Amino acid sequence: MPDFIIPNFADPAVWISLVTLCFLEIVLGIDNIIFISIVAGKLPLEKQRKARNTGLLLAMVFRVLLLLSINWIIGLKEPVLTLPHVRGLSDGPLDLSWKDLILIAGGIFLIVKSTLEIHHKLVKREGDEHQKQIKGGNSVSSILLQIILVDAVFSFDSILTAVGLVENVLIMIIAVIVSIGVMMLFAGPVTRVINKQPTLQMLALSFLVVIGVVLVAGGFHQEVAKSIIYSCLAFSLGVEMLNIRLRGKQQNIQLNTPGDTPGQDNK
């Protein structure tokens, strides 16, 4: 059972646990950064940074409060609902806990939200997004609410994962603060890169759909190795970066190629 005793920071094992947990929180926060970059990018430029930082600070407070209620969080793993046997899903009746229900609801939210964003980007006319930002079509409060809701889903998953690695709540709180600080540091650059490249937006949204499916699967006790998901993302991102570089070279060639001189016949 996790405790609230101040750890002995002179012990190397404490630092190893802290660094390991910080790394885990940062890795698990990749999908969170992508979602924040997508939704915050819909705001006017002058409001994006404030929305990102405020949302992440509120998310940090929420995670710390969850850690201070760690015994209640652990209790969420107790079954509260039993589904009848579903062929191919379980060998018998399937017990679902509050944690499972939260993961399922959060996964469905991510799938629906990301699918709607993909549809919007496919059907929108040129200049619509710019005009929508100028008119303030997306309020800061709605963006903050989406950031907090998604972070809440990821918080339950990451905190329960952390409990299996570290037994000291103070170390967990430090790791959360460090991970949120890293998110605040990189969310801005990620937002600018994603907004600059439409194909990266589609890749990011597709990745969020996959994460949503993974969350739903996890809620039904069908575990999917996240290392595989992140490896596929890294490979797709590498291919897309090569495509972006190739398109940039082709544009430079077109700009540097002299056009036909008016009045002269092409040979």
Predicted confidence at residue 126, as pLDDT, reads 46
Q: pTM surpassing 0.95?
A: no
pLDDT tens, per residue, the chain with 267 residues:
455 567 677 777 778 878 877 877 777 677 777 888 788 877 887 888 888 888 888 878 887 887 777 667 666 777 888 877 666 666 677 888 887 888 888 888 888 888 888 887 777 644 455 445 444 446 778 888 887 788 777 777 667 666 666 667 788 888 888 888 888 888 888 777 777 777 887 888 888 888 888 888 888 888 777 778 778 878 888 888 888 888 778 777 877 776 544 444 544
Q: CA 98, CA 186: separation in Å to the nearest integer?
A: 32
Are 152 and 32 in contact by the 8 Å Cβ rule? The answer is no
DSSP string of the chain, one letter each residue: --B-PPP-TTSHHHHHHHHHHHHHHHHHTHHHHHHHHHHHTTS-HHHHHHHHHHHHHHHHHHHHHHHHTHHHHHHTTSEEEEEPP-TTT-SS-EEEEHHHHHHHHHHHHHHHHHHHHHHHHHHPPTTHHHHHHHTT-S-HHHHHHHHHHHHHHHHHHHHHHHHTT--BHHHHHHHHHHHHHHHHHHHHHHHHHHHH-HHHHHHHHHHHHHHHHHHHHHHTT----HHHHHHHHHHHHHHHHHHHHHHHHHHHHHHHSPPPPTT----
End-to-end Cα spacing for the chain: 82
Q: Residue 248: exposed, middle, or buried by beta-carbon count in 10 A (0-12, 13-18, 19+)?
A: exposed
Q: CA 179, CA 158: separation in Å to the nearest integer?
A: 11
Predicted confidence at residue 74, as pLDDT, reads 66
